Structure 1
Amino acid sequence: MSVDRTGLPQEAPGRERAAAEGGLSRRSLVTGLTAAALLRPAAPQAAPEAGAATRLPETPLVVDLAARGRRRGTAGGSIRTLIARARDVRYLSVYGYTRLVGYDADLVLRPDVLERCDEEGGRFTFRLRKGHCWSDGHPFTTEDFRYYWEDVANEPELSPGGPPDFFLVDAKPPRVEILDDITIRYLWERPNPRFLPALAAPRDPLIYRPAHYLRPYHPRHAGREAAEAAAKAQKLRGWAALHNRLDDNYELTNPDCPTLQAWRPRTPSPATRFVFERNPSYHRVDRDGTQLPYLDGILMDVTASGLLTPKTNAGEADLMFRGLSMSDIPSLKEGERAHGYRTLLWPIARGSEIALYPNLTTLDAGWRALNRDLRYRRALSLAIDRRTLNNTLLFGLGTEGNDTVVAESPLFAPELRTLHAVYDPEEAVRLLDAAGLDRRDAAGIRLMADGRPVEVVVESDGEAAMILDGLLLITEFWREVGIRLVVKPQERTNLRRRSLAGMTVMVAAQGLDLAVATAIMPPTGLSPAQPDHYAWPRWSLNVESRGRSGEPCDVAAVQRLIALNEEWNGTDDAGRQGEIWREMLRNHAENQWVIGTVAGALQPVVAADRLANLPERALFSWEPTAMIGVQRLDEVFWDRPADRRAEAK
């Protein structure tokens, strides 16, 4: 019996996908089954026996590639990619997508690093994989969870605000029980449906830490004098600053920090090329017993943002997507044959590429009254010629209408996409007249009740060229119904500051990010429970601060959204969660809190011709797909040895 590099017998029988990866079909998410059922493997089965030279868990995660139309890969080689800034290496922890529990390509939540997860009401029991190790070979155990909970999350010098919000139910943290080296339990008095989706987020909350690596720098374990002396030796202000620098599982700039990710960093920052090598302790294997990832390395080269597309076009990247946009597609297509790559076009799962957010909490009394008038908001929506936007910005390939979930979401209702979101300038004029804007100045611009012209200053962070281009067109559409639009680009931090201060009248930004949602995902972006929402920033601030700042919501339809969000947070019944989602989506379409325009932009994903196991088409988003994360980069491989790139020294 032959043995591959992992020491696993190549003929070892694999598990069926449902048993190996746990979980049920996507349909289960909307038919009342809880996350507990979704995360319980069908039956325990023996994993292939590991050789003495390997660091696999006793029960690795066995992935069934054939069930997803993929091939068993060959190990070896590296791929090159480009980043605009050195700190962008952190995005590898996003699209590398190794999580305690994570979504698969069908957006079913399954165990990943965890062998098993059981939920009953407010009780979550996690079972780790026996024998699982950090990248440095040290055992990964519940001590790493205890260290995070007691020594990080509840250590004021490291976490001044206390544990993350998803740990709190009725403002109370859980009781945490360490049952043994591989079993830990979190208990709340009532359900906490946010907990598991938070663990599957694009940015891993990392509710564990490499305790063996960090303890020597923590005063509770090393003594305050020793911890402070270590910080002083590094010319840092205190032990907490040193601890934060070393605790680097997200930023990926400290090669000494152990990781559970598929690739571990080998290059300290600063640098112009960052090298990542495969983690010899990674917990996934294919059905033939080959340990993943297939690729030995990832090379990330820093280049100017303006050169990302030209360098990709010139064949200087084997895999590239972040930093590329739909407008780059013609240029990228031109270089395919000469430089041996293909340009995959993945639909972006976003509610709207350009969304307008009338600020219902602006401090200007005249604009506040106007923005809160439903007739005015509907008129602005009906005055937009979305067909022209679609043809101009998205080559006619987009979807016109409201800012709502996309058709691939089980929560999608087609009528909500177009409700009050078709081009009807005559109805827009009627609604504006009915809203008291029936007077005009000599230039034909409508006048507000206080005599000011209806000159809408629309602020934007200026980082998305498509938004600025779209606003130029919307300026013409609105002028036809007597509304003047003035575009005011802002730096993003300043825009958020102005928004929270009530200084913005309207903001243009991208729309609903969680647009391929399932019922068990929190309804992010649909109520003031989300921080920094441009339609009601001061209500959001009030909810986030539990009434200490901002201002309480005083609009009944938005109060209903807040109540629905609270109800979602209090139930683990996926059927009821789906009903809540649908009511919130209808509330948005009826009230035009956010004015959507066009969705369905395409994300170019450039891959070398012989780079295998990337789907021709897949949804691309930040949440929940973690860009390409749910497609599992660890399963990508070079199709033939001659195509493998040599590891750079």
Structure 2
Amino acid sequence: MLRRFLLSAALCATALSAPALALELKETPSLAARVGKDLPPVAERVPEEMLVVDMEASGRKIGKQGGTIDTMIGRSKDVRLINVWGYARLVGYNEKLELVPDILRDIEVEGDRVFTLHLRKGHKWSDGHSFTTEDIRFWFEDVATNEELQPTGLPPFMLAAGKPPKMDVIDETTVRFAWDAPNPLFLPELAKSRPPFIYRPAHYLKQFHAKYTDEAKLAKLAAAQKVRGWAPLFNKADDMYNHENDDIPTLQPWMMQSSDGDRRFVLTRNPFYHRVDSAGQQLPYVDEVVMTVADSKIIPAKTQAGEANLQARNIGFSDITVLKQGEAQAGYTTYLWPISKGAEISILPNLTTKDPVWRELNRDTRFRHALSMAIDRDLINKVLYLGFAKPGNDTVLPLSPLYKEEYTTAWANYDPDAANALLDEIGLTKRRGDGIRLLRDGRPLEIIVETAGEDQSQLDALELVAETWKEVGVKLFAKPSQRDTIRDRALSGDLVMSVWWGFENGIPTPDMPPEDYAPTRGDFLSWPLWGDNYETDGKSGEKPDWAPAERLISLYDAWLSSASTQEREAIWREMLDIHAAETIHIGLVSGVRQPVVVKGLENVPSEGIYGWDPGAQFGIHRMDEFFFK
């Protein structure tokens, strides 16, 4: 079966493949003075097969070029978010969560095994050099499969049934990857907020590669950069995401222009960007994005004072009231976008903790059900979220085509009598003088729930949980820590229970990988040792010895080899059924709103999706289409 991903009004309301010859291109005002000097005219900068965006078909306005978006970040390294928000991808999600070509003109897919990628003729890097299949070949043959640069070999999304693909370069705009088995992971990986960049600017990076540059020259370059050898020199230069090498060319809408130390970063438009609106104006509309580093604690106040044109980073639900109060005076609007996580707060019993008593108890389904039913989620919603969230489990949200109401409600009703009965049934009937139950070895049933200390609402929620858990004989101690410390304790088996955000992807489609819902990674705090075992192919961690975890891994592996959306949906359904039945994550509330402050900008949706994957925060809403009134 051959599937084609074509940019058309039927697939993607925000873009269409219009005949480039029928479009009269207009020179970008801010670049006009450079034309004929260091830049060619716009008709020679955009691809011959440009991507033409039909604004009116998507209900958006044709914009005006120019202006600067001011936004604030809490750390200097967050400047890399410009590569998330810009969201230029080989293929990417649209607002309907459909995968559509972007940098690519077209993709042909045969049986989820053979992927033929068609580049846009005449596409150029930000420095004006041609972007061709040589850049993909260079990545595959000279970077990804070079043992000195990638000693661990190809990443998992480039393997099917454990084997790499055969790559064929057909011509300068056509390349084919063919696997012997289905590889449903390939396309979703390309659309991530942090994509794998299966292409590299070969014309720039070859100067740092031993295959293409003289050894003596490489030694001098390595010495100048204070690194040992050509491989670390290359890896330092090969920075497509972090913005630590400003010289590397990009295909994103904005690129680094200048920085004021590590406090203020100016990102300017890419003059060779591949997207154009239906009026013939090259995107992005906005000339510059200025990212200013500020203390995260004062970003809400600075936002209220009107210092940002677009702000969601470092502001949250608790800031909404203050932000709303400042709208009239500062001239901004506060939109409230639903957050796409499976839950805003989730309590995670560690099923691989090394303490044998706690391990047995955490794995007892009745214990997790009892803890869940001993939580008054309605109270948490009213106190912390003014009643605007949805009490329930950590699971898929109504925006997902996989959603079922019972996934949210199973074992999530507040019923202390039923919780007490389950704890008695387990055998936890002995209590000390203050009513706290005793474990089978005589220790009090006192649970230390560790938190990264990054979100005050988690600590506030735990205080409310502690009150109702105490009523059923369970004592809760909240222990603020740090993210790295918690993960180290989890892998050592010392962590008993933690609180975290819910599933990153609460809006999956069947064609998105269910990696969060099975023990596949060592940094998942519900089952770190099982995840580490899977991630390292059995070299470390522990092999699962709990039937639901074994089944979830089996289902995840089946998804990786699936050949149809129907197969993948059936796999997702069973995985979600297991989570609903087992209450592996004890979610508290979902549907919490993310404030998005907008000052002077058009085409920013009043109702959007705010998430990392899928979504890239502003990415799927096309920040390159935002413009000033």
Confirm or deny a common fold (TM above 0.5).
yes
1:190 maps to 2:181: yes
- Tell me the alpha carbon deviations over residues 3-62 of structure 1, each in whole angstroms, 9 at most, x when there is no partner: xxxxxxxxxxxxxxx964477389xxxxxxxxxxxxxx9988555467761211111111
Select the residue among 277, 296, 299 that pairs with 1:305. 296
| 2:48 aligned residue | 58
Select the residue among 99, 113, 133 that pairs with 2:103. 113
| Contact 1:22 1:111 (8 Å CA) reproduced | no
| Contact 1:533 1:540 (8 Å CA) reproduced | yes
Spell out the pairing of 1:158-173 with structure 2 (5 A cutoff): 158-173=149-164
Amino acid at match of 1:57: P
Amino acid at match of 2:313: R
Whole-Å Cα distance in 1 between the matches of residues 570 and 301 of structure 2? 47
Whole-Å Cα distance in 2 between the matches of residues 264 and 43 of structure 1? 26
- Tell me the alpha carbon deviations over residues 111-138 of structure 1, each in whole angstroms, 9 at most, x when there is no partner: 0000011111211110100000001100
After TM superposition, give the deviation of residue 161 of structure 1 in Å. 1.4
| Contact 2:23 2:280 (8 Å CA) reproduced | no
| 2:229 aligned residue | 238
Q: Secondary structure at the match of 1:267?
A: strand
Whole-Å Cα distance in 2 between the matches of residues 474 and 307 of structure 1? 29
1:75 maps to 2:65: yes
| Contact 2:522 2:535 (8 Å CA) reproduced | yes
- Tell me the alpha carbon deviations over residues 280-339 of structure 1, each in whole angstroms, 9 at most, x when there is no partner: 111111112211101111111111212211111111111111111111111111221111
Whole-Å Cα distance in 1 between the matches of residues 365 and 515 of structure 2? 23
Please, which runs of 5 or more residues in structure 2 have no aligned partner?
Answer: 26-39
Whole-Å Cα distance in 1 between the matches of residues 143 and 307 of structure 2? 41
Amino acid at match of 1:101: V
Whole-Å Cα distance in 2 between the matches of residues 280 and 294 of structure 1? 11
Whole-Å Cα distance in 2 between the matches of residues 125 and 270 of structure 1? 43
Whole-Å Cα distance in 1 between the matches of residues 171 and 496 of structure 2? 55
Cα separation, partners in 2 of 1:46 and 1:20, compared to 1, 3 Å: farther
Select the residue among 467, 471, 474 that pairs with 1:483. 474
Select the residue among 461, 477, 494 that pairs with 2:485. 494
| Contact 1:158 1:240 (8 Å CA) reproduced | yes
- Tell me the alpha carbon deviations over residues 225-260 of structure 1, each in whole angstroms, 9 at most, x when there is no partner: 221211112333333333233222211243321100
After TM superposition, give the deviation of residue 501 of structure 1 in Å. 1.4
| 1:442 aligned residue | 433
Whole-Å Cα distance in 2 between the matches of residues 399 and 347 of structure 1? 11
| Contact 1:248 1:257 (8 Å CA) reproduced | yes
1:458 maps to 2:449: yes
Spell out the pairing of 1:534-613 with structure 2 (5 A cutoff): 534-608=525-599, 610-613=600-603
| Contact 1:354 1:508 (8 Å CA) reproduced | yes
| Contact 1:19 1:44 (8 Å CA) reproduced | no
Identical amino acids, percent of aligned pairs: 47
Whole-Å Cα distance in 1 between the matches of residues 16 and 88 of structure 2? 22
- Tell me the alpha carbon deviations over residues 150-186 of structure 1, each in whole angstroms, 9 at most, x when there is no partner: 2221222322212211111122211111111111111
Of 402-411 and 263-272, deviating more is: 263-272
Spell out the pairing of 1:143-162 with structure 2 (5 A cutoff): 143-162=134-153
| Contact 2:490 2:525 (8 Å CA) reproduced | yes
Amino acid at match of 2:585: V
| Contact 1:20 1:62 (8 Å CA) reproduced | no
Whole-Å Cα distance in 1 between the matches of residues 447 and 10 of structure 2? 49
| 1:5 aligned residue | none
Q: Secondary structure at the match of 1:356?
A: strand
Amino acid at match of 1:94: V
Whole-Å Cα distance in 2 between the matches of residues 25 and 69 of structure 1? 12
Q: Secondary structure at the match of 2:107?
A: strand
1:344 maps to 2:332: no
Select the residue among 223, 226, 242 that pairs with 1:251. 242
1:616 maps to 2:606: yes
| 2:626 aligned residue | 636
1:128 maps to 2:119: yes
Spell out the pairing of 1:24-35 with structure 2 (5 A cutoff): 24=11
Poorly superposed stretches of 4+, deviation over 3 Å: 18-26, 41-52, 268-271
1:429 maps to 2:420: yes
RMSD after superposition: 1.8
Amino acid at match of 1:180: D
| Contact 2:491 2:522 (8 Å CA) reproduced | no
Whole-Å Cα distance in 2 between the matches of residues 48 and 86 of structure 1? 44
| 1:15 aligned residue | none
Whole-Å Cα distance in 2 between the matches of residues 234 and 548 of structure 1? 35
After TM superposition, give the deviation of residue 487 of structure 1 in Å. 1.1
Amino acid at match of 1:91: L
- Tell me the alpha carbon deviations over residues 46-92 of structure 1, each in whole angstroms, 9 at most, x when there is no partner: 55467761211111111121222100001111111111121110011
Select the residue among 252, 264, 278 that pairs with 1:273. 264
Select the residue among 194, 197, 212 that pairs with 1:221. 212
After TM superposition, give the deviation of residue 461 of structure 1 in Å. 1.0
After TM superposition, give the deviation of residue 613 of structure 1 in Å. 0.3
Aligned length: 607
Q: Secondary structure at the match of 1:525?
A: helix
Whole-Å Cα distance in 2 between the matches of residues 178 and 270 of structure 1? 42
Of 331-340 and 628-637, deviating more is: 331-340
Whole-Å Cα distance in 2 between the matches of residues 440 and 462 of structure 1? 31
After TM superposition, give the deviation of residue 95 of structure 1 in Å. 1.3
Whole-Å Cα distance in 2 between the matches of residues 23 and 184 of structure 1? 26
Select the residue among 345, 349, 354 that pairs with 1:354. 345
Whole-Å Cα distance in 1 between the matches of residues 311 and 17 of structure 2? 39
Amino acid at match of 2:343: S
Whole-Å Cα distance in 1 between the matches of residues 547 and 365 of structure 2? 13
Q: Secondary structure at the match of 2:284?
A: coil
Select the residue among 364, 374, 385 that pairs with 1:373. 364
Of 75-84 and 227-236, deviating more is: 227-236
| Contact 1:254 1:268 (8 Å CA) reproduced | no
